[in-house]
A and B are shown apart, each in its own frame.
Chain A
C-alpha cells in the first residue's frame, strides 16, 4: 500500500514536472525562435532598404541574402494564422514560391517599360513580393530611377507585412502558451508541413527526383533562381529546425522531446537533422541538382516527426486484449 502511494506521488510529480518542461520549451521556442527570427527579418529588411536607397548594388545583393535567411526561418515555422485567422494569408503576400507566379518576370518587365505610376502599375500582391524584389535586384540596375523606386516600393510593402507578423506574434503569445497540447500541435504541424515542402519543392523538384520531374534536374525550379539563393533558403530552414530541436541552449523543444520520447525515436529526428546540416555545409548552389543524399535525410527527418506523433499517441498498449467476442 505504502509502496503504491509513493509510486503515485512520484508519478504525479513527474507528470507535473513534465508539464512545466513542455511549457518552458514552448515559451523558449516562441521567444528564442519565433520572435527572434521575425525581429531579425525586420532588421534585415531595413539594411536592404538602406542599401537600395544608397544604390549600392553589391551591398544590396548581400543583404538580400540576409533577408532570405531570416525570412525563410519565419515562413517555415509559421503558425500565426492558427492563432488568429486574420494572419492566415500574410506569408503569401510576402513570397510567391509555389503560389502561381509563373509569369512574374514578364509582368515586371512590362511594368518597368510602361509609364504608369508605380503605385498603379505594381497592382498585384506578387508584384510586391520578395520574389519580385529578387528579380529586379538581380536582373536590373539598382541605379535606374524607376527600378530603384519600384524596389523601394516593394520593400515598403514587405516591411508592412513583416511588422504585421511581428505584432501578431507579440499579441498572441499568451494565447499560444495557454493550451499546451494545442501549442505542441501547432508547432509540430508547422514543422511537418515545412519539412515536406522543403524536401519535395526545394530539393526533389530541383534535383529531378520527384515523380513530376523524374530525371530532369533544373535549378530554375529553385526558390530563388535569379539570385542563386535557393540553397541559402534550404540552409536557413534547416538551421531553424536546429534552433527548435537541437539548439545549444538548454530547454529547447528537442530537450522536451528527449524527456518524453524513446531514445531511438528521438534519434529518428536528431540524426537526419544533423546529417542534413553537415551535408549542406559542403554544398554549393549547383549541388542542388544532385542532392539525393540530402533528400533522403530530409525525408527521414519528415517521417521522424510522424514517429514522434505516433509515439505520443501511446497506442501500442494491449494489442492482444483488443480481441475477443
Chain B
C-alpha cells in the first residue's frame, strides 16, 4: 500500500523480519541464554552487533530493498502466469479431470505441497549457487558475512534475488497449476495472518536465529527432518560450505548427501577466506565484486 517499502519489512507477516518473528526469536534467545550462560558474553556485546560486517548488513538491507522494489520486481514472471500456463498445458494433454476429495483435505494437501515443493527447489537452487562457479560468485556475497545477524538474511546479491524470484514463481505456479487441474475451485491455502501456515510456524519458531550466534540445536533425530539454526550456522562456516543447503526441511540434505548435524561439529569461522574478505567490505563491493573478472 502507501507505506514506505522499508517499514513494510517489519509489519508484513510475509517477511522474515516481521516484528512478531523477531520478537519470538528474541524470546527464544533469552531462554537459551538463561540456560547456557557461557554464550551470553558472545551475544550481548557491541562487538557483535556493531561489527563492521553487521553494520554492512544493515546498510545493505536498506539499499537492497530499493533495488528489489524498483528494479527486480518488474522483471519477474509471475506465479499467476505460470499457474495458468501449467493448467492450460495439463488440460490440453489430459483433458478435463476432477478428483473428488473433501475441501478440507484439498486445502491441506495444497498448502503442504506449496511448502514442500518450494523448499525442495530452494535446496537445489542453493546447492547450484555453491557448485556452479558463475553462480558462486554472486552467492559469495551472502557468505562474506563475518558475523551473523538476522539482517544477514538480506545480504544477498540482486542477481541471486532474481534467481530465487524465478524459482518461487516456477514452483508455486506449477504446484498451483497442477492443483487447479485436479481440484479446480476447491483449492485454497491454510494461512495465519495471510501467510502459509507452515511458513508462519517455522518463522515463529525462530528462523531468525539461523543468522545469529545462538547455537540452537535440535535434539536427536529432529535434525534429520528440520534444519536447526545451528545447522545453517554450520553452512556459514567456511569448512562446511558444501553442507546443509536446506531451508526449513533437512530431508533434502539427507537424501542428496549433504547433511551435517550439529553434534560433534565444532569449528565455526564465518565468512570467506581472509584474502577474499577484502573484496566484500563496502556496499559498492557487495554489489560489484561478483561482476569483476578475477574474483579473488
- Which residues of A are at the interface with B, using a C-beta cutoff of 8 A? 181-182, 184-189, 192-193, 196-197, 200, 303, 306-307, 309-311, 313-325
Residue B30 lies at the interface, judged by CB distance under 8 Å to chain A: no
Say which residue of A186, A196, A318 sits within 8 Å of B15 (CB atoms): A318
| Of listed A309, A314, A322, residue having the most chain B CB within 10 A | A322
Say which residue of B79, B103, B156 sits within 8 Å of A182 (CB atoms): B103
| Inter-chain contact A325/B168, CB cutoff 8 Å | no
Provide the bound-state CA to CA distance between A196 and B91, in Å. Answer: 9
Residue B43 lies at the interface, judged by CB distance under 8 Å to chain A: no
Residue B25 lies at the interface, judged by CB distance under 8 Å to chain A: no
Provide the bound-state CA to CA distance between A310 and B189, in Å. Answer: 12
| Inter-chain contact A197/B96, CB cutoff 8 Å | yes
Provide the bound-state CA to CA distance between A318 and B14, in Å. Answer: 7
* Pairs A-B, 8 closest by C-beta atoms: A323-B164, A188-B185, A185-B185, A318-B14, A322-B168, A189-B184, A196-B96, A189-B185
Residue B40 lies at the interface, judged by CB distance under 8 Å to chain A: no
Provide the bound-state CA to CA distance between A181 and B188, in Å. Answer: 9
| Inter-chain contact A325/B15, CB cutoff 8 Å | no
- Which residues of B are at the interface with A, using a C-beta cutoff of 8 A? 12, 14-16, 68, 72-73, 76, 78-80, 83-84, 87-88, 91, 95-96, 98, 103, 118, 122, 126, 142, 153-154, 156, 160-161, 164-165, 167-169, 172, 176, 180, 184-189, 194, 232, 235, 245, 247
Known contacts A310-B80, A320-B165, A325-B126; is-contact A303 B96 (Cβ 8 Å): no
Residues of A within 8 A of B185 (CB): 184-189, 192, 309
Say which residue of A182, A185, A318, A325 sits within 8 Å of B232 (CB atoms): A325
| Of listed A197, A320, A325, residue having the most chain B CB within 10 A | A325
Closest CB in chain A relative to B94 CB, distance in Å: 11
Closest CB in chain B relative to A305 CB, distance in Å: 8
List 4 extra interface pairs beyond A188-B185, A324-B153, CB under 8 A.
Answer: A185-B185, A192-B185, A315-B79, A320-B165
| Inter-chain contact B164/A322, CB cutoff 8 Å | yes
| Inter-chain contact A325/B87, CB cutoff 8 Å | no
Residue of A nearest to B14 (CB): A318
| Inter-chain contact B96/A323, CB cutoff 8 Å | no
Known contacts A193-B184, A313-B189; is-contact A319 B73 (Cβ 8 Å): yes
| Inter-chain contact B84/A185, CB cutoff 8 Å | no
Known contacts A310-B84, A316-B80, A317-B14; is-contact A322 B118 (Cβ 8 Å): yes
Known contacts A310-B80, A316-B79, A317-B14; is-contact A189 B164 (Cβ 8 Å): no
Closest CB in chain B relative to A12 CB, distance in Å: 15
Residues of B within 8 A of A306 (CB): 83-84, 87, 180
Residues of B within 8 A of A196 (CB): 91, 96
Residue of A nearest to B199 (CB): A322
Known contacts A303-B88, A313-B189, A315-B176; is-contact A323 B168 (Cβ 8 Å): yes
| Inter-chain contact B161/A323, CB cutoff 8 Å | yes
| Inter-chain contact A319/B168, CB cutoff 8 Å | yes
Known contacts A307-B84, A323-B161, A324-B154; is-contact A188 B184 (Cβ 8 Å): yes
Say which residue of A311, A313, A316, A325 sits within 8 Å of B245 (CB atoms): A325
- 16 intermolecular pairs with C-beta atoms under 8 Å apart: A185-B103, A187-B185, A189-B186, A193-B96, A193-B184, A196-B96, A303-B84, A313-B176, A315-B189, A321-B16, A322-B168, A323-B165, A324-B16, A324-B154, A325-B235, A325-B245
Closest CB in chain B relative to A320 CB, distance in Å: 5
| Inter-chain contact B72/A320, CB cutoff 8 Å | yes
Known contacts A193-B98, A306-B84; is-contact A325 B161 (Cβ 8 Å): no
| Inter-chain contact B176/A310, CB cutoff 8 Å | yes
